[in-house]
Amino acid sequence: MVHVSIGKRTATFEVLGLHKVWALKSRLVVPLVHIRGVRVDPTMTPDRCRGWRMPGTYVRGRIAAGTYYDRGRRVFWDVGRSRRSIVVELSGELYDELVLEVADPHAAVEQLRAALPAGNVRET
């Protein structure tokens, strides 16, 4: 699970609990101007995770966490079985996309969209 917090110019995605071990990462900090899209997507479950895992953890139907390379894209995953996933599309960052399980997906998406510079995010 990931906690989302917003600063003046950045969004911080804090990986919580044992997910830090599974994802091999504790936090991602992204400039708000690099966020191109954000949406709730309950279909993004561990079974939807594709690509080469380097590094990270995958247990079929239970967890996908870490860095995955899929069709020339680098995607960070941290989702379990809860169906409380959001997808954050990025540009100019190490990752092309973040797929994250959060406590309240709708609140997280609203919080991110409200913080983004006008005209910076696509409605997806």
Is 121 part of any domain?
A: no
Yes or no: say if 28 and 4 are a contact pair by the CB < 8 Å rule: no
Is 122 part of any domain?
A: no
Residues 63-121 pLDDT 10s:
999 999 999 999 999 999 999 999 999 999 999 999 999 999 999 999 999 999 876 65
Domain containing 15: what range? 2-115
Q: How many domains does the chain have?
A: 1
Q: What is the pTM of this model?
A: 0.93
Residues 46-77 pLDDT 10s:
999 989 999 999 999 899 999 999 999 999 99
Is 124 part of any domain?
A: no
Is 61 part of any domain?
A: yes
